[in-house]
Structure 1
């Protein structure tokens, strides 16, 4: 993983929330939160919260007395999340998942949607989640399956390879879809001190009004944007992604498969 893969600037955060969140993140938010719902949960920590798609579901679905702390490495993402708001108060806090600024055993649950792929030390981050969990507490996180079964992302990365054949941008394949082997995920969780995790592979659909939406989402709303701009014109690359998506999914509303792993384990 490149050091820049985990950097989401303000302009990227806005495109991320506007286009990428409804496209691929919203379908998995409620299933993750449902793994946490229990009457004895009083304090929940979210790590790598991004622009707050899961945070908003936590605030809506958990008991009103449950305290929610939402963290992310990138302040720009948290600023976007806070500007959108939640159904009830949430504590927003900038934090590195590998060095959580919280005491031992202070949360009943820790949740992380599609952040694990960005951690340079995943076992260390999982061990930190375990450290801040109370005995019996649940850790839930998700990762994308391989890029070939996430059809919009696969199409966009192929389009980038066609216009930059000598040095294709590889962010999508390298990082979001680069941590998909169940055996590897399981081994990392075990090394962090947890027991055997439950891993469910869940297929959903990604839908948009036109191919223009996923082209904008991936080319403007992820660090792929920086890779493109280092090689050429962003608008030209976005148009190439749109043409490829149109060729594969049609000229009207588009519908593609997405697939992810939902991981759940108790301390």
Structure 2
């Protein structure tokens, strides 16, 4: 066994220990609940743009994109654009590393990998901030509903031209909307890649914490994930690649993070 393999085995044991420690995970859940009271996730930026993610989830995005190396990342929900910038920066870094491996110069004007972000309301100051960013060339923004037939068809066309696709769902957090997004976007995800459903943790919050929102306990992204996975078991579907759709919840990643806004939300396509 190589030193790297030995360390990987050691880390796997650490993560398994976290997953088996109900008290530690319970403390993490309490921390997530309490941090919401302080709007903690809104306090961070990625390369200058507010990202509105807890840092552990930002780290998870980095790991997933580097591991999978998608050609296209699809994100529903844009807000201030930090998540788009994070995805674009990782894709640019992969492009750069591959150019270095080939020994060829990287042309920043070339197409390469890209991010598509869709939001029902892209506010002018956010659009301007994203468009002014050095990574804007790798980002396409679409204004409108993520479940609009025309928008989905447009994005599906882009996905059909990509070899590997990853999806992040972070728009309207009601059960029905997220379930519709899963039905529409999960088939675009490549085998071995992920659809990540953010804010599944709403289901674990005390009743009433989302009283000012149209979602809450029993009606949120996690209930949509559970419903979608049941549907796949009871009524098999096929991806856009023609292969059967099968997803598993990546509990190893979730336990590694311990603190995440997406419990049961990291779905890896098998």
- The CA distance in 2 between the partners of 1:263 and 1:19, in whole Å, is 21
- Could you tell me which of 77, 81, 86 is aligned with 1:57? 86
Higher relative contact order (Cα pairs below 8 Å, separated by 6+ residues)? 1
- Could you tell me which of 73, 79, 83 is aligned with 2:129? 83
Instruction: Report the equivalent of 2:160.
Output: 105
- Could you tell me which of 185, 199, 212 is aligned with 2:225? 185
Instruction: Report the equivalent of 1:42.
Output: 71
Q: Structure 2, unaligned stretches of length 5 or more? A: 1-38, 45-51, 96-111, 238-244
Task: Report deviation, 1:203.
Answer: 4.2
Task: Report deviation, 1:53.
Answer: 2.1
User: Where in structure 2 are the equivalents of 1:1-267 lying within 5 Å?
Assistant: 21-22=42-43, 25-27=53-55, 28-38=57-67, 40-62=69-91, 63-64=94-95, 65-76=112-123, 79-84=125-130, 85-88=132-135, 89=137, 90-99=139-148, 100=152, 101-102=154-155, 103=157, 105-107=160-162, 108-115=164-171, 117-118=173-174, 120-134=176-190, 137-146=193-202, 149=205, 170-172=211-213, 174-175=215-216, 178-179=219-220, 181=222, 185-191=225-231, 193=237, 194-200=245-251, 201=254, 202-204=257-259, 259-261=261-263, 262-266=265-269
Q: Structure 1, unaligned stretches of length 5 or more? A: 1-17, 159-168, 205-257
Equivalent residue of 1:197, what SS? Answer: strand
Give a deviation string over 1:217-264, Cα, whole Å, max 9, x none. Answer: xxxxxxxxxxxxxxxxxxxxxxxxxxxxxxxxxxxxxxxxx7532422
Instruction: Report the equivalent of 1:251.
Output: none
Relative to 1, partners in 2 of residues 1:177 and 1:86: Cα closer, same or farther, differing over 3 Å? farther
Task: Report deviation, 1:132.
Answer: 3.5
Relative to 1, partners in 2 of residues 1:149 and 1:120: Cα closer, same or farther, differing over 3 Å? closer
Identify, as 1 or 2, the structure richer in strand. Answer: 1
Cα RMSD (Å): 3.7
- The CA distance in 1 between the partners of 2:202 and 2:258, in whole Å, is 12
Equivalent residue of 2:53, what SS? Answer: helix
Relative to 1, partners in 2 of residues 1:115 and 1:175: Cα closer, same or farther, differing over 3 Å? farther
Q: TM-score, normalising length from structure 1?
A: 0.52
Equivalent residue of 2:117, what SS? Answer: strand
- The CA distance in 2 between the partners of 1:51 and 1:176, in whole Å, is 26
Equivalent residue of 1:41, what SS? Answer: coil
Aligned length: 180
